[in-house]
């Protein structure tokens, strides 16, 4: 047991680059993490980290030691997965994060169904539109929409979404239908989280800056404004599918519509997926493409 003392704490600090973040991941105090790492350094008679007030980074010796420790811990995780696979059912805590609206409408109902199938699974889910740090927050999994920006994560595509520029029939009758991207400047473009709308023109991506009388970070708020004829908006399908079907909202500039974007499951690249997390990811990938937006 003596050989293991401080190893878990050392690996957590190496991966989060922070004693505080490591303590949050492990659920222990920062002081305890610091004591264990210091004791490990004393036992090895080696400095493992460069410490400053702003950053913690591995020394050359620390990096070598981390690579070996990570392999050992991965081996332990493999052993746990083998035991779980023999038992044939997932168990334990899964911690995940998802965007609020999409998470509430699509992810949470499927997570609940998954828990009914596997009663020994526990779930802690954080619904937020902020892109939280998975390592620092000790998340097993994140659901992300659209383009991925982080290269430090592994990703599995679960399904896709379609982005529409849309308007109400009443608005189009009053102000006319735009047929080119240049005509957008003549229209009241309702802005969500971004004041640039993305299109595809002649096979190339094109970003158009838009402006209008409403700036709102709620998709449902923008949808309501579109239905009431206030202006145009660019919205994903899960907000407006029923309205497109009923004709309450009309898609426009479809010749410039971008290809469908991915909806992803992300997890840290330096972690192997445990059986319970892998089974949940596979379940979401199986179920999400077959969910009818009209039924929700």
Q: State the SS3 of 211-235.
A: CCCCECCCHHHHHHHHHCCCCEEEE
Q: How confident is the model at residue 296 (pLDDT cuts 50, 70, 90)?
A: very low
The answer as to CATH 3.40.190.10 being correct for domain 163-256 is: yes
**Residue 5: what pLDDT?**
78
CATH tag for 92-159+261-287 (out of 3.40.190.10, 3.40.50.300, 3.40.50.12160, 3.30.930.10): 3.40.190.10
Nearest to 85 by CA among 271, 270, 267, 278: 278
Tokens at residue 22, please?
A: 């490591």
Using the 8-state DSSP alphabet, how is residue 120 labeled? T
- Lowest mean pLDDT across 95-104, 117-126, 166-175, 285-294: 285-294
* 201: pLDDT strictly greater than 50: yes
- Residues 6 or more apart from 101 whose CB is under 8 A from it? 219, 220, 238, 239
* 292: pLDDT strictly greater than 80: no
**pLDDT by residue (tens digit) across 225-256?**
999 999 999 999 989 989 999 999 999 999 99
* 28: pLDDT strictly greater than 90: no
User: Per DSSP, what are the bridge partners of residue 155?
Assistant: 266
* 30: pLDDT strictly greater than 80: yes
- DSSP E strand boundaries for the chain: 49-51, 56-58, 92-98, 121-127, 141-145, 153-161, 163-167, 196-201, 204-209, 233-236, 250-252, 261-268
**pLDDT by residue (tens digit) across 257-268?**
988 888 999 887
**Residue 277: what pLDDT?**
87
Residue 104, helix vs strand vs coil: helix
**pLDDT by residue (tens digit) across 143-196?**
998 877 765 667 888 988 899 999 999 999 999 999 999 999 999 999 988 889
User: What average pLDDT score do residues 275-280 get?
Assistant: 86
Contact in structure between 267 and 273 (CB atoms under 8 Å) = yes
- Cα distance between residue 144 and residue 212, in whole Å: 28
**DSSP letter for each residue of 34-67:** HHHHHHHHHHHTS--EEE-SS-EEE-HHHHHHHH
Query: Where in the sequence of the chain do the CATH 3.40.190.10 domains occur?
Result: 92-159+261-287, 163-256
**Residue 1: what pLDDT?**
47
**Residue 85: what pLDDT?**
59
* 113: pLDDT strictly greater than 70: yes
- Cα distance between residue 268 and residue 86, in whole Å: 25
Tokens at residue 112, please?
A: 């609940």
- Cα distance between residue 238 and residue 170, in whole Å: 22
For the beta carbon of residue 203, count every other beta carbon within 10 angstroms.
Answer: 5
Q: How confident is the model at residue 271 (pLDDT cuts 50, 70, 90)?
A: low
**Residue 2: what pLDDT?**
55
CATH placement of domain 7-85: 1.10.10.10
User: What average pLDDT score do residues 133-141 get?
Assistant: 82
Per cent of the chain over pLDDT 70 is 90
User: What average pLDDT score do residues 211-227 get?
Assistant: 94
List C-alpha distances in Å: 41 to 35, 47, 52, 62, 263: 10, 6, 17, 9, 43
User: What average pLDDT score do residues 102-119 get?
Assistant: 93
User: What average pLDDT score do residues 275-286 get?
Assistant: 89
């Amino acid at each position: 047991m003596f050989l293991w003392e401080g190893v878990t704490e050392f690996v957590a600090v190496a991966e989060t680059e922070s004693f505080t973040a490591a303590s949050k991941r492990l659920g222990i105090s920062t002081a305890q993490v610091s004591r264990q790492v210091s004791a490990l350094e004393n036992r090895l008679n080696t400095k493992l980290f460069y410490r400053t007030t702003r950053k913690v980074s591995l020394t050359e010796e620390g990096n070598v030691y981390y690579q070996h420790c990570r392999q050992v811990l991965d081996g332990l995780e493999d052993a746990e997965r083998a035991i779980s696979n023999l038992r044939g059912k997932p168990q334990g805590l899964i911690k995940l994060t998802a965007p609020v609206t999409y998470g509430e409408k699509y992810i949470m109902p499927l997570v609940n169904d998954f828990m009914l199938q596997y009663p020994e699974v526990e779930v802690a889910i954080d619904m937020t539109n902020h892109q939280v740090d998975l390592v620092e927050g000790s998340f097993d999994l994140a659901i992300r929409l659209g383009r991925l920006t982080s290269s430090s994560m592994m990703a599995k595509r679960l399904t896709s979404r379609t982005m529409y520029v849309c308007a109400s029939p009443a608005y189009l009758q009053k102000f006319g239908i735009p047929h080119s991207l240049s005509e957008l400047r003549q229209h009241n473009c309702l802005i969500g989280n971004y004041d640039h709308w993305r299109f595809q023109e002649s096979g190339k991506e094109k970003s158009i800056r838009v402006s209008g009388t409403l700036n709102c970070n709620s998709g449902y708020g923008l949808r309501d404004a579109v239905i009431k004829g206030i202006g145009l908006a660019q919205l994903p399908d899960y907000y407006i599918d029923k309205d497109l079907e009923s004709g309450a909202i009309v898609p426009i500039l479809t010749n410039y519509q971008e290809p469908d974007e991915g909806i992803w499951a992300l997890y840290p690249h330096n972690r192997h997926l445990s059986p319970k997390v892998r089974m949940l990811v596979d379940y979401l990938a199986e179920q999400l493409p077959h969910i009818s937006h009209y039924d929700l």
